[in-house]
Amino acid sequence: MATNQPDLDQEVINLITRSPGDSIAFPSLSLPDMKAILTLSLFLVVGCASLTATPNSPSDENRLHPDYAPTPFSAEELYRGFPEGTELKFELGEPDQPHQFQTMTFTGITETEVLVQVDMADADGTSLPATPPSKAKWADLQSHGSFPAATTTISREYKASKFGKVECWHYTVSSAEEGPSVVSHYWWDVKRPGPPIELTTEADGVTVFKLEMISDSR
């Protein structure tokens, strides 16, 4: 695993620092590496029903580039939605494999940026080696939900979750790259600014990765 870390780190840096106008390429990495990248970029089945009395997509003001779909939340909404010390926990992994648990803690919050600490644990609760916290701008975190309009569909749906049945923005994002057909489904709780409450990725119609938010201190 250590031999792959430099390449993975660079992929993560490229994904986090991309500008909204850049195209999104799914990295040609192993599934564990893709899992780590999808997890860090978090900053996305049962019981879905369409809503008709509300807008079907987020505000057009959230569009970061003319050819991109609007993001689920603005940078301002993210800032106002995260009290100091907010802690989010996720369960993630590949089908039929032991899952891991991720904890994200948000501190040092200002109007423009936040310090994010990410901690990982194995299925049995054993902590994995810690990584230093990273500073991120709210505008950069907003861009994690920015995808090309041509390969993205957005609907507003109810979804069963750890928090009950909630209203979500459901983004279906397809890869425009050659190779396996990769489709990712992101569910953002419309009243919970931040990462999606669930993310699944499929390759040629088969689920290869799932991330689910299991607790939120807010």
* Per-residue confidence band for 54, with pLDDT thresholds at 50, 70 and 90: low
Proportion of the chain above pLDDT 90, given as a percent: 64
Output the pTM of the full model.
0.73
Residue pointed to by tokens 């031999």: 3
In angstroms, the CA 120 to CA 171 distance is 26
> What is the tens place of the pLDDT at every residue in 160-207?
999 999 999 999 999 867 777 899 999 999 999 999 999 999 999 899
Domains recognised in the chain with CATH numbers: 2-216 (2.40.360)
In angstroms, the Cα distances linking 95 to 2, 28, 134, 211 are 24, 19, 29, 11
Largest CA distance in the chain: 52
More confident residue, 159 or 8: 159
**Cβ atoms of 165 and 124 closer than 8 Å:** no
Give the H/E segment covering residue 145: none
Residue-level pLDDT at 152: 96
- Considering the chain, what percentage of its residues have pLDDT values greater than 70? 74
- Structural contact between residues 207 and 201, judged by C-beta atoms closer than 8 angstroms: yes
